[in-house]
Structure 1
Amino acid sequence: MSEDIRTTAPMLRKEPAIRRIGRSDIVDALSAGLRDFQAYPAFGVFFGSVYSLGGVAILACAFLWDLLYLVYPLAAGFVLIGPFVAVGLYEVSRLREQGRVPTLSGVFGAIWTQGAKEISWMAFVTIFLFIIWMYQVRLLIALFFGLHGMPAGAFPGVLFTTPEGLAFLTVGHVIGAVLATVTFSLTVVSFPLLLDREVDFITAMITSVRAVVSNPAAMLGWALCIVLMLFTAALPAFLGLVVVLPVLGHTTWHLYLKLVA
């Protein structure tokens, strides 16, 4: 009997409890995230610059290879890997929450330590979702415009003035919204949770989805806030991400603290 109890005990581990939050909690988290960025701007500028330069590099490759019709989906899909890039920002906020002073070695040491564990699997999930994003774009282009795609110089006119182009935009945005919702639900608290506690990445993703399901209105508001801020930041050649990513990253940490008991 005792052996059976010992065998099944690990399977009975409780999942993290989810709290209910409202609009005021998101505002509080944003204020706390802004304070974290102001307290340690060097970390924010560093991770924001890495993210911004990554976006610039991807778009430069699209221009270099004459794939201008992929610029918009690449820019939109690049947002999906933002939660992974912001792991260092979560650590800065975590240390500050504990009353400790973040240091370069401490932050990168935590990233390195956790990266060898479950966070690396979550990173794989986000990159996989980005690949799926780009594959569905390529599939839709083939379905609506043929296997050869569309001429780079003609794509704006084809996109906005033909039935195929308008159908492509409509279907693409619907599928993109679904993929973005799935990614948001899987990652909104996954990375902070893995950084903060000893849980596996499957539990982290399930907890993240539970947080969204338990707070649909508040999380929809947060998702729209993210989209608006990232869209505005990406307009000036991704340069705005140098500031916006740190604020969003720090805010995500404080939102995680409010959501997961």
Structure 2
Amino acid sequence: MSASNAPTPIQPIDTFTIQTITGDDVKTALSNGLADFKITPLISMFFGLMIALFGIGFSAGLLLFDQIWLIVAAGVGFPLIAPFLAAGFYEMSRRYESGEPFIWSDIVGVIFRQQRREFGWMAFVMLFVFWVWVYQVRLLLALFLQWTSFSSLDGFLVTISTTTNGLLFIGVGTIIGAVLATVLFSITVISMPLLLDQEIDFVSAMILSVKSVMANPLVMLGWGIVIAVITFIAMLPGFLGLIIAVPILGHATWHLYRKVLIKSV
């Protein structure tokens, strides 16, 4: 079922067939994502701007309440919740593909309706992983830096990049963060667009997503690295790069999903 139509019965997991993909398919998905972005760039950038403003506001709040240490956790963890925010891009690409016209308010309506569908449950999964990430950063901060007081963001960054304990904090945190990001990527990369596109329970969707990653480990790992690198670079200019980067990645993810998962019944 599409997100804009009347509900249909929940689809069984064996309704879908997982395809083997190659690096060329990833390149094609990125190319198609860019093409989708160019069709109605202002609408895509509007939703990208909402994501960027969320990042800016969240970071500003941490500075305001003197929670400087959390900025690093938020900066690394922010991409963990981006798939949920990308629902609008999946819907836009779905409509481009089916030839359905729309305006920006149609996409906003689809995003809000997801809270009444299985798609909404994935928010809890992603927020749980995000909070696990934040609390492990708190634990590592206590273990390696003994809750050292930082008067500024610059002071915090200098400490973690020039001291032995700071480098250990970064090293161990990076390993743990990579594990959490890999787990979350595996359960969401296919399940998120699938849940928007079809009526299927979120557990089955996560299982199909993990199986899709396991069937294409190197290609999917490469796609995860592409997402992480592009998102990180886009965040550097005060999150403003996300206005363009996230829409393109969101559209591309839809196309990769359509290549990986085929409805066989």
Rounded Cα–Cα distance in structure 1 between residues aligned with 2:230 and 2:133? 21
Rounded Cα–Cα distance in structure 1 between residues aligned with 2:177 and 2:29? 27
Matched position secondary structure for 1:17? strand
What residue in structure 1 maps to residue 156 of structure 2?
155
| Structure 2 residue runs without a partner (length 5+) | 1-9
Following TM superposition, by how much is the alpha carbon of 1:59 offset from its aligned partner in structure 2, in angstroms?
A: 1.0
Instruction: Determine if the alignment matches structure 1 residue 18 to structure 2 residue 8.
Output: no
| Structure 1 residue runs without a partner (length 5+) | 1-9
Q: Look at both structures and tell me which one has the larger radius of gyration over its CA atoms.
A: 1
What residue in structure 2 maps to residue 69 of structure 1?
69
**Alpha carbons 1:86, 1:245 under 8 Å: kept:** yes
Following TM superposition, by how much is the alpha carbon of 1:15 offset from its aligned partner in structure 2, in angstroms?
A: 5.2
Rounded Cα–Cα distance in structure 1 between residues aligned with 2:106 and 2:33? 20
What residue in structure 2 maps to residue 3 of structure 1?
none
The verdict on how the C-alpha distance between 1:207 and 1:12 changes in structure 2, with shifts beyond 3 A counting, is closer
Instruction: Determine if the alignment matches structure 1 residue 238 to structure 2 residue 231.
Output: no
What residue in structure 2 maps to residue 210 of structure 1?
211
What residue in structure 1 maps to residue 169 of structure 2?
168
Amino acid at match of 1:113: R
Amino acid at match of 2:192: F
**Alpha carbons 2:11, 2:199 under 8 Å: kept:** no
What residue in structure 2 maps to residue 121 of structure 1?
121
The verdict on how the C-alpha distance between 1:92 and 1:43 changes in structure 2, with shifts beyond 3 A counting, is same
What residue in structure 1 maps to residue 52 of structure 2?
52
Amino acid at match of 2:132: I
What residue in structure 2 maps to residue 81 of structure 1?
81
Normalised TM-score (structure 2): 0.89
Deviation track 1:56-109 (CA, whole Å, cap 9, x = no partner) reads: 011111221223232222111011111111101100100111111122343233
Rounded Cα–Cα distance in structure 1 between residues aligned with 2:25 and 2:75? 29
What residue in structure 2 maps to residue 190 of structure 1?
191
Rounded Cα–Cα distance in structure 1 between residues aligned with 2:150 and 2:220? 40
**Alpha carbons 2:11, 2:198 under 8 Å: kept:** no
What residue in structure 2 maps to residue 7 of structure 1?
none
Amino acid at match of 1:212: V
Following TM superposition, by how much is the alpha carbon of 1:117 offset from its aligned partner in structure 2, in angstroms?
A: 1.2
**Alpha carbons 1:48, 1:246 under 8 Å: kept:** yes
Q: What is the total number of aligned residue pairs between the two structures?
A: 251
**Alpha carbons 1:69, 1:152 under 8 Å: kept:** no
Amino acid at match of 2:179: V
**Alpha carbons 1:67, 1:152 under 8 Å: kept:** no
Following TM superposition, by how much is the alpha carbon of 1:113 offset from its aligned partner in structure 2, in angstroms?
A: 2.9
**Alpha carbons 2:68, 2:150 under 8 Å: kept:** no
Rounded Cα–Cα distance in structure 1 between residues aligned with 2:11 and 2:43? 39
Matched position secondary structure for 2:102? coil
Instruction: Determine if the alignment matches structure 1 residue 93 to structure 2 residue 75.
Output: no
**Alpha carbons 1:96, 1:102 under 8 Å: kept:** no
What residue in structure 2 maps to residue 102 of structure 1?
102
Rounded Cα–Cα distance in structure 1 between residues aligned with 2:223 and 2:170? 25
**Alpha carbons 2:194, 2:257 under 8 Å: kept:** yes
The verdict on how the C-alpha distance between 1:12 and 1:21 changes in structure 2, with shifts beyond 3 A counting, is closer
**Alpha carbons 2:49, 2:242 under 8 Å: kept:** yes
Deviation track 1:161-183 (CA, whole Å, cap 9, x = no partner) reads: 33221211111110011011111
Matched position secondary structure for 2:186? helix
What residue in structure 1 maps to residue 134 of structure 2?
134
Deviation track 1:176-228 (CA, whole Å, cap 9, x = no partner) reads: 11011111111101111001111011011111111111101111111111111
C-alpha RMSD over aligned residues: 1.8
**Alpha carbons 2:11, 2:200 under 8 Å: kept:** no
The verdict on how the C-alpha distance between 1:257 and 1:223 changes in structure 2, with shifts beyond 3 A counting, is same
